[in-house]
Amino acid sequence: MRCPLGLVFDSAKHFMGRRLRGQRKFPLALTLDPLGGLANANAAGTNGAREALAGRAMLSVAQCVAAMEECDTPMVLISGGEPLEYPEIAALTRSILRSGRYLFLCTNGILLRQRLHMIPPVTNFFWNVRLDRTGNVHDGRSAPAGQFAAAMDGIKAAKNAGFLVVVTSTIRPETDVADLEALYTQLHALHVDGYTLRPHYPAEKLCRERLGAYNLMVSPVYLEYLRGERELDCSAWASPVYGPRGWSGPCYLQNTRFSESYQGLLQETVWENYGRGLNPRCENCQCPSGFETAAMFGRNAKAGDFWKKLAWQLGGNLGEKREGKQQA
């Protein structure tokens, strides 16, 4: 399986249960932003994010747990800023895992080695490390210098301790996919379990072919959308973000309003006003929170999509590299 069998089963059960109850819009994954870093990064710019967070309100563990229970998804992500700087990160992590949900803790990797003692390695927990390039190329876009080495050291320690680790990379127009492939080669040697991609994606670079030997955790339908081979309708309501100001609406990239509850987000947002061709701010968006979820929901479906996704799921394995696969 390309993703953990338990996560696939729980997600399918969650999806079918909601559909059988007649719900059209419901969450698949919840992102907790305890430091408010996601909303702040889009309001103040990434470089000013840490500065603007100083003195800013943070979520309590109780607020995070309440949002998780309200949203009730099988998968939770902790993101925004650097979550390992959140003072209650250990307590929050343990609370989520006790609920039986799958947790992806997103980090730049600098503090990873120091935080490994937070919890023992369990099958429903993933470290999700953000790495865009190799060595100095990565550090050239990041601060402080030396982040790449610290992250690689943290990944090695996490894998040696028995943790599951995935790496997320952002592909921009200037990205050299050969360098990303070199990064994957280094990570594979550390036994990293899987890889995800985020926009912006240059249309001429077919990442699935170049990186297809690795356990790429990006659905084939979403990849077709990224390559301009099909259209998908944004489903940002399926991947909500909860932070100190409430539920981001319509999504964390815009933050035009914040709702006090997830149901309030669904009911108060005029979703028909957002999406490509509907809103100028949405025109170039390819964010997985809106479009990978659309692929999972089967929006703008084509014949054979189900079997395509099933073959993709069965055709991968955590940490696997298919030796001898043709490279583009």
Q: What is each CA distance from 143 to 98, 136, 150, 169, in whole angstroms?
A: 34, 11, 12, 16
Q: What is each CA distance from 247 to 70, 106, 271, 297, in whole angstroms?
A: 12, 19, 15, 21
Q: What is each CA distance from 81 to 12, 18, 283, in whole angstroms?
A: 31, 32, 26
Q: What pLDDT sits at residue 211? A: 74
Is CATH 3.40.50.300 what the domain over 5-314 is classified as, yes or no?
Answer: no
> Which long-range CB contacts under 8 A does 65-68 form with residues at least 24 apart?
65/92, 65/95, 65/96, 67/30, 67/32, 67/242, 67/247, 67/262, 68/30, 68/32, 68/96, 68/99, 68/101
Q: What pLDDT sits at residue 174? A: 76
H helix or E strand, kind and range, residue 289? helix 288-297
Give residue-wise pLDDT tens across range 212-225: 788 888 888 998 88
Give residue-wise pLDDT tens across range 103-114: 999 999 999 999
DSSP state of 252: T
Q: What pLDDT sits at residue 142? A: 56
Least confident of 34-48, 218-232, 313-327: 34-48
Q: What is the pTM of this model?
A: 0.88
Two tokens at 314? 């069965």
Least confident of 36-40, 154-158, 201-205: 201-205
